[in-house]
Structures are given as structure tokens and as C-alpha cells.
Amino acid sequence: MVSTAQIAFLKGHGTENDFVIIPDHDGRLELSPAAVAQLCDRRAGLGADGVLRVVRSAAHPEARAMACEAEWFMDYRNSDGSIAEMCGNGVRVFARYLQRAGLAEEGDLAIATRAGVRRAHIAKAGPDGEPGGVTVAMGRAALPEGDVTVTVGERSWPARNVNMGNPHAVSFVDDLADAGNLYTAPGVSPAAAYPDGVNVEFVVDRGPRHVALRVHERGSGETRSCGTGACAVMVAAARRDGADPAVLGHPVTYTVDVPGGRLVISESPDGTVEMTGPAVIVAEGVLDASWAGIEPAAHAG
């Protein structure tokens, strides 16, 4: 039986969307929802918006079919312990971890996620030694038909349904303060549009092809940034502005400000969305497995 007395961890963030990183290359650990919530607790735990478990694709049942394309699988969990299909900021931080651990170099790499394989590019470090940004090909946005409404208190706004591997409801408002307290999930209707819950973005204009957002992430509450949310916002804004790349015949780029920084989102005529932003590892150490409630996986030996 593998010893789990101490477990290595790292802490990182992408535009202040922060994560506990658990290296578990051979899939020897079991992360229960309660263990994830304990790790992410900002007063009694390490504190994070989510957990990135780093597992070889071949060692994880949900990723084995992708092992021929991507060696590493991002097993992402929201801070309440629930499983999410994708996390755009998380992918960048995941790539930075692989680089720091000597498992990836500057340049291109593929990462398996529950939303499929995502292609990342780690830019070269700057002349001052600062790490370069990370660009991730986020796939194509799906735009389900049907009217959606977002409600906060007694106010409601129409929303655009955008799926970036996970679901989003994007509303354009006059002031980001209109979103109120986003630690409480806004109302979204019809509920049937989002059977597995939804991330909700409130968006204002800052200038030509420049927007800012606040976001409620399902399972986490308000976060300082949401990568897939920024992509969903860019797609929704481009359609609103008559800037569909498929119609224009050339890529369209928006600057998207989030509370924790800035992301640059581009969409190509073929529908591929790319996100570029920072990814920073801020700490590493070991934790007591018994405190966190992390157990060996049933197949570990």
C-alpha cells in the first residue's frame, strides 16, 4: 500500500483564479468531494477556487482514450468538491506546473480534460526571466438556441447561452455592480437549459473590442477570473457586435478584463477560440493526508 502520510502540493493562479495542485502522476490517490472542499477552504484549509489533480492519462479511466494524444490529464474539481468539465485558467496553471516539474518545455503541448484534448503553448520567458504567458486552444463554442434570462433580486436581463465545454449564461449590463453578491448564484431560467448548472457572467463594455466581467462559477461562487467564461463572453460580444469571424473571414480578438487581471481571447473563422494569459506558481509544500481526508485509490498498491 502506498504511504499517504504526506502529500505534495503546489499553489498557483491564473489572473487570480487560484488552485491547489496535487501531483498524482500514477493515479494513486482518491480525492473525495469532502477532501477537495477541505483543501479549498480559505480559513481551515489551503484556500482555492478549485483543485487540479495531475494524472497521467493512461492511469485515469476517464482519460485513457486520450492518452495517445495527451500524456497528462487535468482532473479538475470545483471548490465544493464537484467535478467540472473544463477550467480555462486551470489549464494554463496546469501547463505551468508541467513546465516547472520538468515534464514539459516551452512550446506546444497537449492536455487531456473532461471536455477533450486542449492544445497549449508556453511562451518563452522574457528578457527579465519572467515566465511567458500561456495560450490555450479552447475548442469551439456551441451556441444553443433558445431564450435565457438571468435574475438578481428583482432585476432580470436576457442572456446568451454559450457552451465552452462547460455551460455559460452571458448577460450584458450597464454596471458590474448590477450583479450584486455573486457568492449567491443568480437565478437562471429556463432551468432546463442548464441541467447540470451554469456559470453566469455579467459584462460591461470598456472600449472597442474590450469588455470586463464578473462571474459566478457553479460550485465555487464568485471568482476573480474564469477562463472559459472569458471565452464565452468574447464569443457572445462578437456576435452582439456583428463581428462573427466566420462571416468576416478573419480572426477577431477581444481584450477581456476580469477582477484578477486581463486575458486576450481570439476566435478564428473556423470557430477555434484561443485564450492567452498569465499562469503563476506561488508556493509548494507537503500536507498531512489524514487532515485532508485523502485516501489511496482502490487500485493503488
Tell whether 89 is in a known binding site: yes
d(CA 228, CA 116): 14
d(CA 265, CA 233): 9
Tell whether 285 is in a known binding site: no
Tell whether 105 is in a known binding site: no
Tell whether 227 is in a known binding site: yes
d(CA 108, CA 98): 12
Tell whether 221 is in a known binding site: no
Catalytic residue from among 40, 68, 87, 231:
87
Tell whether 217 is in a known binding site: yes
For the question of residue 231 being annotated catalytic, the response is no
Tell whether 261 is in a known binding site: no
Tell whether 17 is in a known binding site: yes
For the question of residue 87 being annotated catalytic, the response is yes
Catalytic residue from among 40, 68, 226, 231:
226
Instruction: Please list, residue by residue across 156-170, b when 16 or more beta carbons sit within 10 angstroms of its beta carbon and e when fewer do.
Output: ebebbbbbbbbbbbb
Quick count: other Cβ atoms within 10 Å of Cβ 182?
19
d(CA 78, CA 168): 15
Tell whether 78 is in a known binding site: yes
Nearest by Cα to 200 from 184, 216, 214: 216
The CA angle 77-80-85, to the nearest 5 degrees, is 30
Which positions are catalytic? 87, 226
As annotated, the binding site for substrate includes: 17, 78, 88-89, 166, 199, 217-218, 227-228
As annotated, the binding site includes: 17, 78, 88-89, 166, 199, 217-218, 227-228
